[in-house]
Amino acid sequence: MLSFEHQFATLPEPLWMACQPTPVSQPTLIVFNQRLAETLGFETGLKSKPDDATLAQWFSGNQLPPGAEPRALGYAGHQFGNFVPQLGDGRALLLGEVVDQNGIRRDVQLKGSGRTPFSRGGDGRSPLGPVLREYLVSEFMAAMGVPTTRALAAVSTGERVVRQLPEPGAVFTRVASSHIRVGTFQFAAVRRDEAALKALADHVIERHYPEAASADDPYLALLEAVVARQAMLVARWMSLGFIHGVMNTDNCSIAGETIDYGPCAFMEQFDPQKVYSSIDQGKRYAFDNQPAIAQWNLARFAETLLPLMREEGDTVVELATDIIRRFGPLFDAEQHRLHADKLGLAADSDQAVTLMEMLESQMHQGRMDMTATFDALTHYASTSSETHKEALLALTTQPKELAAWLDKWQAVQVASQDSERLAAMRRANPVVIPRNHRIQEVIDAAYEGDFAPFHSLLAAVTQPFDESAEARRLAAPATENEQVLRTFCGT
């Protein structure tokens, strides 16, 4: 069984509040991530494997797993730029922490398990659709090597959740390096509780950034480490066309993981200003805005740490500001590396950025699907065949312009072409992504009680380089009639 520990509970209230999940009427296991469970030590010491009914009881909150001590976590947040001093886990409960087989401490959390002291009038439940979306997208991200929270289980509740209309309910079990956010620090800072703030910062240093403890100023070193992780994370999002949708400070993980997959989606037809979230009317979190928003969030994090830092006054502000400014160069360096991989170029290529900017312009003007373009380019790079070139040119409305770009790219790419570069190119360019219309198909079928499409899509997106006929079917871009242009948060 999971061996729960409770280090976060050593921090002062109201950073957390004890709370029990609300039982559901008919919990039924939809999916259980056996491989992830094994890395968490799930079956260690068990005489027999728990059956689906037992798993459904545990991961719906009806019957707590042995050793679990559920707590709702407090946090604040800037939501679309507007500061809200108290948000918190309104529908989620931390069961505890597990030290996995690699010695890494991981949170295990129920999401959709009922009201908490932070619910603010909400019902504390989750519809089935957002649970399936988060399961699929987070596991795809993990398969692509992007830092992310993970999906351990999904359970249907047998109850209805009312949003715009009544929908089937579900509970999601999420695993994370931690659930500590920029908003967690804002929650302590806005209360002017320096003892709680220091305890939180020391906890984060011990858990995530132990090297910062020996620095001249541990809290300045903490800021520097978080900035570096966020820069690398957002660069990886951009390389896959991922649009988070709600990059509020309460959705910005201090551990540098992708967290809170609400109205997220992967860009299909390339558009730097693409927005999927139905609530982002001002395009604050559009695709191309994500690096700047991440840096803005980090500046809010820096503000919370200033009282803990060794220097004071203008000096400490200048030091923190200098670290925030490093986000840009760190992001650019990681993006350069990713551009080189996606284009099949040498890591130190001085042409990678220019060629990528030119290709992105071609994709935008030629109405090209981002994932299909890089998949086709990968095939062409490995074969140089006219058939694969024609398949690539067929993706654009401006084939002459793309052909001219291909000539420039090939002159650079051929010089660095070898099996290692081609392998890196393939690893950077998935065949299958969790396309928005495929996720919607899965959700529609599940609402009718059919989970087979969900399991098929899950199998495909967790093997994102599969070239099988089924993978190719699921990889196809949406037709005009299949396009899903908006996504919704599940709260």
- Active-site residue set: 250
Q: How far apart are CA 64 and CA 204, in angstroms?
A: 27
- The gap from C-alpha 75 to its chain's centroid, in whole angstroms, comes to 19
Cα distance between residue 458 and residue 35, in whole Å: 14
Cα–Cα distance, 202 to 219 (Å, whole number): 9
Q: Cβ distance 170 to 30 under 8 Å?
A: yes
Distance, first Cα to last Cα, the chain? 31
Alpha carbons 413 and 408: distance in angstroms, whole number: 9
Beta bridge mates, 450: none
Task: Let me know: does 222 contact 266? Beta carbons within 8 Å.
Answer: no
Give the CA distances from residue 188 to residues 10, 248, 301, 428, in Å, rounded to whole numbers and listed in that order.
15, 17, 11, 39
Question: Residue 111's beta-bridge partner residues?
Answer: 92, 172
Decide: 213 and 225 in contact? Cβ < 8 Å: no
CB-CB contact of 71 with 93 (8 Å): yes
Q: Cα Rg for the chain, rounded, in angstroms?
A: 23
Question: CA distances (Å), 93 to each of 138, 252, 253, 373, in order?
Answer: 19, 18, 17, 41
| β-bridge mates for residue 71, sequence order | 18, 94
Within 13 Å and on the Cβ side, how many CA atoms surround 254?
27
DSSP-based three-state secondary structure for 7: coil
The whole-angstrom separation of Cα 452 and Cα 305 is 48
Cβ distance 19 to 70 under 8 Å?
A: yes
Measured in whole angstroms, how far is the alpha carbon of residue 174 from the centre of its chain?
12
Q: Which one, of 68, 120, 67, lies nearest residue 89 by Cα?
A: 120
Chain center to CA of 148:
5
Write the CB contacts of 454 (distance below 8 Å, at least 6 apart in sequence): 30, 31, 132, 136, 442, 445, 446
Greatest C-alpha distance within the chain: 67
